[in-house]
Amino acid sequence: MHKTWKLALTAIAAGSAATALAAPASAAPAKLKSCDGTVVAPPFKSDWTVGQGSAGIAGSPGWKQGYDINLQSNVGIAVAEVKGYNDQNKETWYGVPAMSPDSPHRIIAVPWGNNLAMPAVRIKAAPGQITGVTVTFNC
């Protein structure tokens, strides 16, 4: 039996399993939970449909929150806004250029500041559009 394994088994038998099996110092750090979401807006609805991110964001003074937004529908135009916070730390919705099948991807960073909150995206189908739209996002 290899000397290291013999020492580990001896330590376990002696009741110090935590010491014997401790993770090496080079172990990778825990992966942080990602933030993402999906929003589905039906056709002919004039109100916004809001989708909340799957994880909260803890900002700091001057922090800008990024959003990576993708139109999943292969027809239709999506009008979108993303949540952020203005200089007075008031929740504010920031416009995103319209997305279409020809131009389905947007990346935007908006003021967030020293706030702890859930990112969100709100969308609606373009006025008069007969199809709904689906948007996914990462934050």
Q: What's the rounded Cα separation, in Å, for the pair 119 and 104?
A: 20
Q: Lowest-confidence range among 9-23, 40-54, 89-103? A: 9-23
Task: Return the ∠ at Cα 62 (arms to 56 and 65), rounded to 5°.
Answer: 40
CA-based nearest residue to 83, from 44, 113, 104: 113
Give the pLDDT band (50/70/90) at residue 127: confident
Q: What's the rounded Cα separation, in Å, for the pair 138 and 37?
A: 7
pTM comes to 0.75
What is residue 33's predicted lDDT score, i.e. its pLDDT?
58
Fold that domain 36-138 belongs to in CATH: Jelly Rolls (2.60.120)
* In the chain, % of residues over pLDDT 70: 76
Q: What are the residue ranges of CATH 2.60.120 in the chain?
A: 36-138
